[in-house]
Amino acid sequence: MTSNDTIAPHGGTLVELLAGPEDAEGLKREAANLPKVVVNQRELSDLEMLTVGALSPLTGFQGEKDYHSILDTMHLESGLAWAIPVTLSLDEDEVKRIGGAEAVALLSRDGGEPLAIVQVSEIFKRDRQKEALGVFGTEDLEHPGVRALHDAGDYCLAGPVRSIRLPRHRAFTTYRLTPAETRAAFHERGWRTVVGFQTRNPIHRAHEYIQKCALEIVDGLLVHPLMGATKGDDVPADIRMQCYEALFGGYYPKDRAMISIFPAAMRYAGPKEAIWHAICRKNYGCTHFIVGRDHAGVGTYYGTYDAQKIFEEFEPDELGITPLMFEHSFWCNACEGMASPKTCPHGEETRVSLSGTKVREMLRGGERPPIEFSRPEVADILIAAMREA
Ligand SMILES: [Zn+2]
């Protein structure tokens, strides 16, 4: 870390696992003779995150001791804070096929050159019940994260990763900055303090307001939309990206705000994922992180403020990144501005608030929500997308 950096990576070292062009050729030759494992979509995202250092200090898929330590204590065996195990699943047939191999090659489902080689340090049986309760707080198969865990293999393969290439992305390649690149971008802009904003939705006025409240106290804002796998009824990535571009084009100062893609897949683990998201954003160079109500939640599995309260379970220097907690916000006709229950003394009747269901209904009918709720440019993109769908 130089004095120009915003914050040290988690654990102190920014990991980069991608081989240079020459080494990559050697790894490809090596991979040709190794047992192959095809990764699922979530693992593909995790592999990309490992490769670029978003999961620093991890250098590979985690072993059994860390796995249990994280589920039991929210810390790695080394004592470093960590909220969700990063594992590579195998089913029984794959375990047999791998046998005693020292290494395996990872392949993408859509083919192409191998992605990486994992040196096998151990293969262990996962404790599905403990993992479901420890990560998601429930064993309900209706929960998308529990469902994914249920469908995953019984075993986990652990070991250090050497990456041959990143997954291919066809869209938004200019927005795919690695942690080293966002750090360089912050440095270039002269930002010493940066707030990160996680989102998997289009941004309406309420979240714009929260971001700008946070930006008032730091140098820069990183809007960091999650672009790995989400559940089927979330707004598709390309539509969201158009919304972010429209918003940035009209309402965000270019020298104070930037968009970059967060390649993670959603786990919908609520509070645990809020911690995980914060640690990842620290690796991207953010000093602050916005935690809203029901962060990374789904359905009614988590309490409204659980994702904020969980930060109290750590000493502040354990995480390093500073969480900024926000209430839900809205336009208030009496205040004549954006506000929250913290800042507005008026009642519900003066507040412009719409349920998600109501907003979708309006958009589907070709109707813009009120300008106090949604920027017209964003509303028009969503209306057009619904018409095509
Ligand atoms: Zn008010």
Residues 339-361: tens digit of each pLDDT:
999 999 999 999 999 988 899 99
Residues 98-116: tens digit of each pLDDT:
999 999 999 999 888 999 9
What are the residues whose beta carbons fall under 8 Å from the beta carbon of 3, sequence distance 6 or more? none
pLDDT at 389 over 80: no
The predicted pLDDT at position 140 comes to 97
For residue 359, the CA-to-ligand 1 centroid distance in Å is 22
- DSSP category for residue 19: P
For residue 366, the CA-to-ligand 1 centroid distance in Å is 29
pLDDT at 1 over 60: no
The predicted pLDDT at position 209 comes to 98
**310 burial level (CB within 10 Å; 0-12, 13-18, 19+):** buried
Q: How confident is the model at residue 28 (pLDDT cuts 50, 70, 90)?
A: very high
Alpha-carbon gap, residue 103 to 34, rounded angstroms: 7
Average pLDDT, the chain: 95
State the distance between the two ends of the chain, measured CA to CA, in whole angstroms. Answer: 47
For residue 345, the CA-to-ligand 1 centroid distance in Å is 5
Q: How confident is the model at residue 4 (pLDDT cuts 50, 70, 90)?
A: low
| Residue positions annotated with a catalytic role | 200-201
For residue 206, the CA-to-ligand 1 centroid distance in Å is 14
Measured from the Cβ of residue 138, the count of other Cβ atoms closer than 10 Å reads 16
pLDDT at 51 over 80: yes
Closest by CA to 76, choosing from 1, 10, 152, 121, is: 10
334 sits in the region (left: phi over 0; alpha: psi -120 to 50; else beta) called alpha
For residue 174, the CA-to-ligand 1 centroid distance in Å is 40
Measured from the Cβ of residue 245, the count of other Cβ atoms closer than 10 Å reads 15
For residue 342, the CA-to-ligand 1 centroid distance in Å is 10
CB of 186 closer than 8 Å to CB of 180: no
Core vs surface per residue 208-239: b (16+ CB within 10 A) or e: bbbbbbbbeebbbbbbbbbbbbbeeeebebeb
**72 burial level (CB within 10 Å; 0-12, 13-18, 19+):** exposed
Alpha-carbon gap, residue 332 to 330, rounded angstroms: 6
SS3 state at 177: coil
CB of 273 closer than 8 Å to CB of 83: yes
For residue 156, the CA-to-ligand 1 centroid distance in Å is 52
Most confident of 227-231, 291-295, 344-348: 344-348
- Bridge partners of 338, per DSSP, are 331
Alpha-carbon gap, residue 76 to 56, rounded angstroms: 12
Q: Which amino acid is at 233?
A: D
| Mean pLDDT of the 283-289 span | 98
pLDDT at 2 over 60: no
**Residue that has been written with the tokens 């020292």 in this structure:** 102
